[in-house]
Structure 1
Amino acid sequence: MQKQFYRRISEIDALRAIAIIGVVGSHVSSLHGGFLGVDIFFVISGYVIMLSTLQHQENGTFSLASFYNRRIRRIIPPLLCASAFIYFATLFLFVDNKDFSFIIDSYKLQSFFLHNYYFVGKSLNYFQGLTEAKLNLHLWSIAVEEQFYVVFPLLLVLATYKTKHNKFFAVLIGILSIFSIVIMLGGIGQPTFLIKALAVPEGEISSSTLRVSRYYLLYTRFWQLALGVCACLLTHSIFKSNKEIDCSKISRANNFLIFINFSTIACSMFFADITKAWPNVLSILPSVATAVLIMQFHIANGGFTSTILNARPIQTIGKLSYSLYLYHWPIYGIFKYTNSDFGQYLYDYAGYLIVLFLVSLFSYVVIEKKTQKINFKYSMVILVVFVGFHYFSSYADTPKPDVNIATIDRVVETGRYSGICKSCTSTPTKDFIVLWGDSHAQALVESLERYCLLNELDLVQLKGAPMIPNKVSHEKIKSLMVQPHFKGMILAARWSMYIKFPDDEPEESGNRYFKFNGKMPHNELEAQDVFSESFNNLLETVAGENVLILKQVPRFSFFPKKDYIMQLRGLRLRPFKKKTIESHMQDHAFVNNVFDLSRKEYPFVIVDPAPMLCPSGECKWLEDSTMLYKDDDHLSIYGVEKIFPLIEEQLDTFVKG
């Protein structure tokens, strides 16, 4: 039984290959549910660690020291090299202090495998507007596994004290798994004392922090690792009760069940809803399917399915999966950080995958394989180096760009976004105008403040998309518009985003479409219908001759300020793609048509900034060394100043009559 049970299960590498393909696909393609690859990794890790532990128990070689030594030499050397790669990349590439600070601040906790708590403290939703500058964000899962590996052998030693049987351990880990699932499903509250101690030592724990903690922390992931452990214990029990297993008798049913389990995993990856908190009850399906698959491959060795899964390309990807995971996000992040339009062409991804494969192959051959047989003493040395490197790296100074500092400072300053409104009021006492809108309205604040100051006006700012108003904002708008001192209103928004979020940009909501008045569109046609309905509902509240609607400014396929700095540093891979006023009009044809139709029924003024930003038909983001844009679609303070005469002309009409 021992030889049959303690064999290498090559199909596990195939499952690892599927998992890493899903993870990479979730970042670089439309396979949004590919993040489930991490769930698969957790179940595999639980199974493999229990299999190894059982073998050492039967051989009489199990000890805490030997267990931790195996985990250190398996995980730490490649992780240390990946962390060093990320650190020196940030030193060389990042010019924004906030980007650099994220890495070095998280490294202090990463030295003790607690960096997932840092991500929780920052309330970083893994699926909403994932920024490429957070090059180590994907390492949260390594932290979860390491935390489990600290707890796992201690529970085992406790449960098997004075006995050689693992039945009490199985009961214990099963009970803890139930608690983990109950916490995940919200049946009982999360142990917030851990979040309070490590993530938000000062201040209150927000609802968004609790939501993301569900994704990043061990107590809602414990059951997935434990599921692998329990599956291995069950398989071990089956082998002990059946000395010889006749695989031919179960071959047909086994192949059918394999098909069902693979289908469950595939469907989960394609249909997982990233707008919902994860893990949730649906995460149980692919996790259980993974555990059952491993058991099937372990018990019923061979067959047609195994032949496919043991194909060399699949096995190679599976063996490289750890290195692929370590480097897939930082390499993509570096490409994306230096070239924000990276990924708009297929050859971008071809180049990315080639670089990723070569780096991962080097990591596997030179680091992973070479460090698998080091003794306990060298493991401790590597662990000390790992802790020291991360801890002392967290005190690094802000890097200095390798080009003219004055030039960088000029680009950063002229590309500045409008700040917080300093003079805005919610209770105007004199003639006033209202600014209502999302971040595109926020861009107008500084120019509007100056205008109001010169004309002795109050400025009222209402934050939030006019397309998604709530009851309070509607009532507030009505109460403001009937006041005798009301002189006018400006509505500004990224209108086209409320029909569909651009495919070439990480969605901030976790979904390409936005909910309007309780309605969630499922495709672009539905979104257009709901947009038209919501816009007309909006006009029923605010329409009037003293209402100005600012059309959306042209959007670029790159981030002008950041990408211009990268060009100055010689890190741009391609010339900047031109934007014409014709393509801008095509992008916003539906929105403009809604505006035109609505004007026939409701009175309001439309101002279009595009002709001024595209004077010769080609839209400008840089003029006389001055940045007109802060990012791909937000004007800088200088960009707003360029178009503000159009707005000022209409405001004069509102104010002076």
Structure 2
Amino acid sequence: MHYRRDIDGLRALAILPVLLFHAHVPGFDGGYVGVDIFFVISGYLITGIIAREVDDGRFSLARFYERRFRRIVPALGLMILVVLGLSAWLYLPGDLEGVPRSALAATLFASNLWFFTDTGYFAGGADVKPLLHTWSLAVEEQYYIGFPILLMLIVRFAPRWRTAVVMAIAAGSLLLSIAMQRDTSGFTFYLLPTRAWELLAGALLALGVVPALKARWLRELVAWGGIAGIAFAVGCYDRDTLFPGIAALAPVLGAAALIHSAPGTSAGRLLGWAPLVGVGLVSYSLYLWHWPLIVFTEYATDMPVTGWTRIAVMTGSFVAAILSWRFVERPFRDSQAMPARTIFRFTGATMALLCSLSLALMAAGPWPSRFAPTVLAQAAGRDDISPERKRCHDIFARGATPCVLGAAVPPDAMLWGDSHGVELAYALALEARAQGWALVQRTTSSCPPVLGYDAPRDARCAAANRAAFAALRANPAIRRVYLAAFWANGEFDDPAFVAKLDRSIAAIRAEGREVVLIGAVPPQPFDVPRRLAHLARAGRLAEAQGVARSWLDARTVHLRALFARWQARGVRLIDPAVALCDARHCAIEQDGKPLYFDSHHLSVTGARLVIARGG
């Protein structure tokens, strides 16, 4: 297979959107599709090599994995080593423990399995996982464990069926991905069965399934159509796009179209432009280094990279990538300087070292002795959550019986809401226990208590709300309903949504029940316990300050416009802003205790303050 400059240029079209997406550059909300482009390129190039050698009867698994180790392990090993060192120095207790676990998984090419069980790619918590991006490397390596063996077996036992078998597996993987595109567990995003079709799309090109396009005008049309497909996905997709599945067809087919048709076209000449080829050459190292640099910078500054910080991090990512490519990737790919035996020994030693370091850090646990007691006291705010959160939250998804909190009496109240209601329910339960009443907790993550609301990525939300309202109607003993949600997240300050909330309040009141609306909790632009711990570490805890009150009011303008009307109808309002904010700013700590356990969920301390003072 002769060298193609346009494929290196296509690598640039894959890595640049990923970098710009992770760096929060506007206009690149769908940049994560760059990973799918990489899958197609990998499937095409490596299948071409495997198929040619298998057909010639000279394929060797040992030689194949030697090439994979040369390509993957040296730069990856160095990056993991640096990440472990920086994490041990920078990360607070509670954040550190996950890093060596993910490092162990990344070293064993199983990080997609780890992150599938640990977090979602777009979910909270991803911002403190500097090895999250290694999930895609794990998918590839798992694919290449079985695919070469499959081709060998087909050539030996059913050579005429090779194309049909590969097409059937690709079709099955694609259909599974589409069938599971609403999956919220992470299976569809992280795991090989729903991603294999993207690699197999490139493999089918390498196997000659798609006939060559001879007409110049047709190749031009298909190639530019490929660029348009990629540009559409990068520019129009975002975190709420159901992905992968049908949406993944645009970048995958776009990449396949360019691989198949770009040579000899104007699109191919564009991809062969020297700057793009240069980026493509260092794309692997750029992929490895950019995400940890972004994560560590945001962790240290307690804010997303923006402005000059963004430019500095992106520049640093390129510098690290070029150095890694020049002094790590290239020397290890030189089979004259690094014979096969050396590569296998190096790979074994590297994996043993990284596994040992990861296990040692795992044994060390949170390692609190690295920090002063004042720092640890602030960091501990992340654990100031309802002791009933695990048992009582998201019960609808588990089919469990809703929790009754407070005194040991039949409940006469209900808290209905999303995850913001969990600690508020516990704070109410403390009052209820003292006063002799009880409440039912019905909280579902990312699901505000609004009838008719359909969560973009979660079909269970509407069903959970219907079940909550039906349970309310079936139990006349429930006389009071508390409504709590993340009202200030931006999505809900929409007149159409507020109208649905208005109708929901009316429906509850029509059942003869009192409504208590718990208003918007001011979200912060940083993780509060982490921010306070960093300030304590720097001796600047007195500078702790939350968002401006004016910003909160502007964020919830449509919601707040109805407060007076609701109160006139008898709806009681508990306004967190009354308890947390003065005329200028909102507080994030009181008496040395964080009022939040992350950036927008109140801690138990904060929830108790709101319930006590928010009326």
| TM-score, structure 2 as length reference | 0.83
Who is 2:174 aligned against? 181
What is the CA deviation profile of residues 414-460 of structure 1, one whole-angstrom value per residue up to 9, with x for unaligned ones?
A: 56233317983599745744333333332224432332222222233
Q: 1:406 to 1:304 in 2, by over 3 A?
A: same
**Whole-angstrom CA distance in 2 between matches of 1:130 and 1:255:** 44
* Displacement after TM superposition at 1:570 (Å): 4.8
Larger radius of gyration: 1
Which one-letter code corresponds to 2:46 in the other structure?
I
Q: 2:71 touches 2:333 (CA, 8 Å); kept in 1?
A: yes
Q: Relative to structure 2, which stretch is displaced further, 552-561 or 281-290? A: 281-290
What is the CA deviation profile of residues 99-154 of structure 1, one whole-angstrom value per residue up to 9, with x for unaligned ones?
A: 333333344443432232222334x3323336212222221111111122222332
Q: Does 1:349 align with 2:339?
A: no
Match of 2:528 among 550, 556, 560: 560
* Displacement after TM superposition at 1:371 (Å): 0.8
**Whole-angstrom CA distance in 2 between matches of 1:88 and 1:184:** 37
Which one-letter code corresponds to 1:121 in the other structure?
T
Q: 2:229 touches 2:253 (CA, 8 Å); kept in 1?
A: no
Q: Does 1:252 align with 2:244?
A: no
Match of 1:221 among 167, 192, 195: 195
Who is 1:10 aligned against? 5
Q: 1:447 to 1:176 in 2, by over 3 A?
A: closer
Q: Relative to structure 2, which stretch is displaced further, 135-144 or 632-641? A: 632-641
Match of 1:618 among 578, 581, 585: 585
Q: 1:214 touches 1:277 (CA, 8 Å); kept in 2?
A: no
Who is 2:557 aligned against? 589
* Displacement after TM superposition at 1:463 (Å): 1.9
SS class of match (1:633)? coil
Match of 2:115 among 119, 124, 148: 119
Percent of counterpart pairs with the same letter? 25
Q: Note the 1:161-240 alignment, pairs <5 A.
A: 161=156, 169-186=162-179, 208-209=184-185, 212-234=186-208
Q: 1:138 to 1:424 in 2, by over 3 A?
A: same
SS class of match (2:439)? strand
What is the CA deviation profile of residues 300-325 of structure 1, one whole-angstrom value per residue up to 9, with x for unaligned ones?
A: 43x53333322222112111111111
Match of 1:441 among 413, 416, 421: 421
**Whole-angstrom CA distance in 1 between matches of 2:211 and 2:507:** 70
Who is 2:486 aligned against? 494
Q: 1:235 touches 1:295 (CA, 8 Å); kept in 2?
A: no
Give structure 2 stretches of 5+ with no counterpart. Answer: 393-402, 452-463
Who is 1:104 aligned against? 100
Who is 2:355 aligned against? 391
Q: 1:613 touches 1:643 (CA, 8 Å); kept in 2?
A: yes
**Whole-angstrom CA distance in 1 between matches of 2:284 and 2:194:** 22
Q: Relative to structure 2, which stretch is displaced further, 256-265 or 103-112? A: 103-112
* Displacement after TM superposition at 1:404 (Å): 4.2
SS class of match (2:208)? helix
Q: Relative to structure 2, which stretch is displaced further, 224-233 or 125-134? A: 125-134
Which one-letter code corresponds to 1:78 in the other structure?
A
Q: 1:428 touches 1:459 (CA, 8 Å); kept in 2?
A: no
Q: 1:581 touches 1:611 (CA, 8 Å); kept in 2?
A: no
What is the CA deviation profile of residues 328-349 of structure 1, one whole-angstrom value per residue up to 9, with x for unaligned ones?
A: 2222221222333223x32232
Who is 2:25 aligned against? 29
Which one-letter code corresponds to 1:584 in the other structure?
L
Match of 1:466 among 449, 452, 474: 449
**Whole-angstrom CA distance in 1 between matches of 2:253 and 2:114:** 30
Who is 1:265 aligned against? 230
Which one-letter code corresponds to 1:539 in the other structure?
A
Which one-letter code corresponds to 1:354 in the other structure?
T
* Displacement after TM superposition at 1:275 (Å): 4.2
Q: Does 1:306 align with 2:303?
A: no
SS class of match (2:96)? helix
Who is 1:201 aligned against? none
SS class of match (2:504)? helix
What is the CA deviation profile of residues 468-513 of structure 1, one whole-angstrom value per residue up to 9, with x for unaligned ones?
A: 5722211333344x43xx564433322233xx34xxxxxxxxxxx7
**Whole-angstrom CA distance in 2 between matches of 1:387 and 1:530:** 52
Q: 1:92 touches 1:399 (CA, 8 Å); kept in 2?
A: no
Q: Relative to structure 2, which stretch is displaced further, 228-237 or 304-313? A: 228-237
Who is 2:85 aligned against? 88
**Whole-angstrom CA distance in 1 between matches of 2:414 and 2:200:** 56
**Whole-angstrom CA distance in 1 between matches of 2:427 and 2:154:** 68
Q: 1:414 touches 1:638 (CA, 8 Å); kept in 2?
A: no
Which one-letter code corresponds to 1:357 in the other structure?
F
Who is 2:144 aligned against? 149
Which one-letter code corresponds to 1:348 in the other structure?
T
Which one-letter code corresponds to 1:435 in the other structure?
L
* Displacement after TM superposition at 1:237 (Å): 8.5
Who is 1:549 aligned against? 517
**Whole-angstrom CA distance in 2 between matches of 1:127 and 1:451:** 36
What is the CA deviation profile of residues 331-377 of structure 1, one whole-angstrom value per residue up to 9, with x for unaligned ones?
A: 2221222333223x322321221121111111111111111012111
Q: Does 1:453 align with 2:433?
A: yes
Which one-letter code corresponds to 1:455 in the other structure?
Q
* Displacement after TM superposition at 1:216 (Å): 1.8
What RMSD in Å do the two structures reach over aligned CA positions?
A: 3.4
**Whole-angstrom CA distance in 2 between matches of 1:216 and 1:580:** 38
Q: 1:349 to 1:623 in 2, by over 3 A?
A: same
Match of 2:251 among 271, 278, 286: 286
Q: Relative to structure 2, which stretch is displaced further, 269-278 or 128-137? A: 269-278
Q: 1:402 touches 1:569 (CA, 8 Å); kept in 2?
A: no
Q: 1:548 touches 1:605 (CA, 8 Å); kept in 2?
A: yes
Who is 1:630 aligned against? 597
Q: 2:411 touches 2:438 (CA, 8 Å); kept in 1?
A: yes
Q: Does 1:371 align with 2:364?
A: no
**Whole-angstrom CA distance in 2 between matches of 1:158 and 1:474:** 58
Q: 2:423 touches 2:607 (CA, 8 Å); kept in 1?
A: yes
Who is 2:573 aligned against? 606
| TM-score, structure 1 as length reference | 0.79
SS class of match (1:219)? helix
Q: 1:73 touches 1:371 (CA, 8 Å); kept in 2?
A: yes
Which one-letter code corresponds to 1:35 in the other structure?
Y
Match of 2:345 among 375, 381, 388: 381
**Whole-angstrom CA distance in 2 between matches of 1:114 and 1:614:** 46
Q: 1:413 to 1:272 in 2, by over 3 A?
A: closer
What is the CA deviation profile of residues 196-215 of structure 1, one whole-angstrom value per residue up to 9, with x for unaligned ones?
A: xxxxxxxxxx9754xx2222
Q: 1:542 to 1:88 in 2, by over 3 A?
A: farther
Q: 1:414 touches 1:637 (CA, 8 Å); kept in 2?
A: no
* Displacement after TM superposition at 1:61 (Å): 6.0
Q: 1:479 to 1:155 in 2, by over 3 A?
A: closer
Give structure 1 stretches of 5+ with no counterpart. Answer: 1-5, 191-205, 239-246, 502-512, 514-523, 651-657
**Whole-angstrom CA distance in 1 between matches of 2:419 and 2:204:** 50
Who is 1:137 aligned against? 132
Q: 1:314 to 1:487 in 2, by over 3 A?
A: same
**Whole-angstrom CA distance in 1 between matches of 2:313 and 2:566:** 46
Who is 2:456 aligned against? none
SS class of match (1:234)? coil
Length, aligned pairs only: 576
With CA pairs under 8 Å and 6+ residues apart, which has the higher RCO, 1 or 2? Answer: 1
Q: 1:419 touches 1:445 (CA, 8 Å); kept in 2?
A: no
Q: 1:477 to 1:255 in 2, by over 3 A?
A: same
Which one-letter code corresponds to 1:436 in the other structure?
W
